Structure 1
Amino acid sequence: MLVYTFRRILAAVPVLLTVAVFVFLLLRLTPGDPAAIIAGDMATPEQLERIRTSLGLDKPIVVQFFSWFWLLMQGDLGTSLISNTPVSGMIAKHIEPTISLALLTIVLSVAIAVPLGVLAAWRHGTWIDYTVMTISVVGFSVPVFVIGYILIQFFAIDLKWFPVQGFRSITRGIGPFLERAVLPSLTLASIYVALIARMTRASVLEVLGEDYVRTARAKGLKEKTVLFRHALRNAAVPVLTIIGTGFALLITGVVVTESIFNIPGIGRLTVDAILARDYPVIQGMILLTSGIYVLVNLIIDLSYSFFDPRIRY
Structure 2
Amino acid sequence: MFGFIIQRLLATIPVLGMVAVFVFLMLRLTPGDPAAVLAGDNGSPEQVAEIRESLGLNEPLVVQLGIWIGNILQGDFGQSYFFKKDVAELILLRVEPTLALATTTLIFTIMVAVPIGVIAAYKHGTWIDRAVMAFSVAGFSIPVFVLGYILIYLFAMQIDLFPVQGYKSITDGFWPFLHRLILPSITLSVIYIALIARITRASVLEVLGEDYIRTAYAKGLTPNAVLLKHALRNAAVPIVTVIGIGIALLIGGVVVTESVYNIPGLGRLTVDAVLGRDYPTIQAIIMVFSFVYVMINLLVDLTYSLLDPRIRY
* Preserved contact between residue 164 and residue 261 of structure 1 (Cα < 8 Å): yes
Aligned ranges for residues 133-148 of structure 1 at < 5 Å? 133-148=133-148
Aligned ranges for residues 68-217 of structure 1 at < 5 Å? 68-217=68-217
Letter in 1 for 2:96: E
CA RMSD of aligned residues (A): 2.8
Letter in 2 for 1:184: P
Range with greater deviation from structure 2 (15-24 or 204-213): 15-24
Q: Is the aligned partner of 1:4 residue 2:8? A: no
Whole-angstrom CA distance in 2 between matches of 1:182 and 1:309? 37
Return closer, same or farther for 1:101/1:230 CA change in 2, 3 Å cut-off: same
Aligned ranges for residues 257-268 of structure 1 at < 5 Å? 257-268=257-268
SS in 1 for 2:302: helix
* Preserved contact between residue 106 and residue 189 of structure 1 (Cα < 8 Å): yes
The equivalent of 1:55 in structure 2 is: 56
Q: How many residues of Structure 1 are paired with residues of Structure 2 in the alignment?
A: 312
Q: In structure 1, list runs of 5 or more residues that go unmatched.
A: none
1:247 deviates by 2.8
Whole-angstrom CA distance in 2 between matches of 1:32 and 1:186? 35
* Preserved contact between residue 28 and residue 34 of structure 1 (Cα < 8 Å): no
Return closer, same or farther for 1:310/1:266 CA change in 2, 3 Å cut-off: same
The equivalent of 2:16 in structure 1 is: 16
1:40 deviates by 7.9
Range with greater deviation from structure 2 (30-39 or 268-277): 30-39
* Preserved contact between residue 116 and residue 132 of structure 2 (Cα < 8 Å): yes
Whole-angstrom CA distance in 2 between matches of 1:229 and 1:92? 42
Whole-angstrom CA distance in 2 between matches of 1:148 and 1:35? 34
Superimposed CA distance per residue, residues 16-71 of structure 1 (whole angstroms, 9 cap, x where no aligned partner): 12223334445666799996798689455576356445438658946x55543332
Whole-angstrom CA distance in 2 between matches of 1:146 and 1:212? 45
Q: TM-score, normalised by structure 2?
A: 0.87
Return closer, same or farther for 1:224/1:200 CA change in 2, 3 Å cut-off: same
Superimposed CA distance per residue, residues 225-257 of structure 1 (whole angstroms, 9 cap, x where no aligned partner): 221222112212222222223234324553332
Q: In structure 2, list runs of 5 or more residues that go unmatched.
A: none
Whole-angstrom CA distance in 2 between matches of 1:60 and 1:151? 45
Q: TM-score, normalised by structure 1?
A: 0.87
Superimposed CA distance per residue, residues 70-96 of structure 1 (whole angstroms, 9 cap, x where no aligned partner): 321332111111221111122222222
Q: Is the aligned partner of 1:306 residue 2:309? A: no
Return closer, same or farther for 1:60/1:176 CA change in 2, 3 Å cut-off: closer
Whole-angstrom CA distance in 1 between matches of 2:261 and 2:285? 22
Whole-angstrom CA distance in 2 between matches of 1:285 and 1:94? 11
Return closer, same or farther for 1:146/1:275 CA change in 2, 3 Å cut-off: closer
Return closer, same or farther for 1:67/1:309 CA change in 2, 3 Å cut-off: farther
Letter in 1 for 2:284: G
* Preserved contact between residue 38 and residue 82 of structure 2 (Cα < 8 Å): no
Return closer, same or farther for 1:159/1:53 CA change in 2, 3 Å cut-off: closer
The equivalent of 2:291 in structure 1 is: 291
* Preserved contact between residue 204 and residue 231 of structure 2 (Cα < 8 Å): yes
Identity %: 58
Letter in 1 for 2:109: S
Return closer, same or farther for 1:173/1:55 CA change in 2, 3 Å cut-off: farther
Return closer, same or farther for 1:132/1:274 CA change in 2, 3 Å cut-off: same
Return closer, same or farther for 1:234/1:266 CA change in 2, 3 Å cut-off: same
Return closer, same or farther for 1:7/1:177 CA change in 2, 3 Å cut-off: same
1:15 deviates by 0.7
SS in 1 for 2:181: helix
SS in 2 for 1:312: coil
SS in 1 for 2:83: coil
Range with greater deviation from structure 2 (87-96 or 194-203): 87-96
